[in-house]
Structure 1
Amino acid sequence: MASKEIRRMALVVEYDGTRYQGFQVQSKGITVQGTLEEALQGLLGTYVKTQGAGRTDAGAHAHGQVVAFNTIAEHTEQVYLRALNASLPRDIRVLRAAQVSTEFDPRRHAQRRFYRYLVLNQPVASALWARYAHHVPFPLDVESMHRAGQAILGAHDYRIFCGASRFNGRDTVRTMFRVRVWRSGALVGVDMEANAFLPQQARRIAGTLTRVGRGKLEEAEVGALLDGTSSESSGPTLPAHGLYLMLVDYPKGILDISGQSGQDYLRETNS
């Protein structure tokens, strides 16, 4: 009997990360990846190893995480959607599914990643937003935050925004394509789009810009942090529960199910 052809499938996954110890499988605690692999095993009848586009921290959320895996099953995309969403807990949803090239690597082939950090900026904290936005009771100057964010656009060594001691000589240069800070009522959003992010980079940038918004850090100091001429430190690193992996963008033809390009999404969301 001829062996069945190996297929590679890609899923776009949304999740509320509140009760998970991050996306990636760990030795202790439940994770999004581990829960998804259990659901896939129930559908496929065998264990499959998944690959994710990004590693979100414990408590962080995602609207557009991309996950890939190999299988010999011949299920349609709709079968994956119906079966997985029927067995997954309600805080994890598979939004899209598609067969992709067997060479597809959701992390290595990604050209842009779009993260959003949400701050609830009002005097009294909200019980309903407690797991989904970081509370800042002090007034924030959103325009000042946005202007300061433009200083970190382009290709830079971002080790100041992640704690360089963790990298031991590894490359810490990334390219930031877009930073936008906006307000909608009490919600303040910090949108960041880059080719890739270092661990805690997005949360530390959001924390740095929040200091600017409070008047605790001059706008010009943000750019000075990158070029090493500032005596200030970056941060703080804001809590993970305010962070969302919104979108992972791929070159046309590699994966066309992940949604709009990050730039279009930013433009339409905050025009």
Structure 2
Amino acid sequence: MSDDHMNIQLLRNINRQMEELIIESKIQTQIENGVFTFSYGSEVIRFFLPFAGQDGIQSHILRTANFYEEKALRLVAPLLGPTSTVVDAGANIGNHTVYFKKVCNVKHVISFEPIQTTFNILLRNISENQLSGVMPICSALGAHEGGGSISSFRSGKLGTITLEENALGKLRIASIDSLELPRLDFLKIDVEGGQIDVLRGGEETIRRTRPLIMVEMRVGTDEFATGDEYLKSIAYKLKMKCSKADYIYEPIVQSVVK
């Protein structure tokens, strides 16, 4: 191993240890009863962050005093309004749900999170921010209703849990179409590779309501190629790339049903 490589590794270790110390200091001094408070524009935002020392999303919120993926969310904000109905597929602890409701002032958010521990944090964050018009559902979204189980999990990030269909699984899988929504304006999908199943399970709703679709398609996989092809097949086109893995699609043909 070269001296340069060893120096790079040493610097990385030092930086990581410094970040851990900063997070630990903020946990001790800036979190009260598990809740971290920060200002965003004219709004006061409160997040319950019980795993800020281990989870990437929670530690980011604490470290930056800001929303996770805030740059992408700022691009989304002008697309939403006070009459908008949003589905948040893969809501995690409620980062996007809180932003959609409290910052964008949308009318309704339906938030799906299948992992009970994470769902409980989502419920707490809805309560901490006194959000109305939010329907939290402890379920994954897929191509059809059924059961599921955890197939993989990357340590240090609750949002990296991957699910698989399993009739005997304890996790619930629902579909967007099963909601029979009269209106859907924005669909956010962050489901660790399961986006095609989510889209298939909402195809009737999507064809009828023609929402904007924000979808995570992970770098280093074929997810963009397959996702882009599927979205084109239901008359959608890429509107913008809002982060290295998040894309917003818009309908090519508007629905006549409003």
Does the alignment reach a TM-score above 0.5?
no
TM-score (normalised: structure 1): 0.26
Structure ranking higher in helix proportion:
2
TM-score (normalised: structure 2): 0.27
Structure with bigger RCO (C-alpha 8 Å, 6+ apart): 1
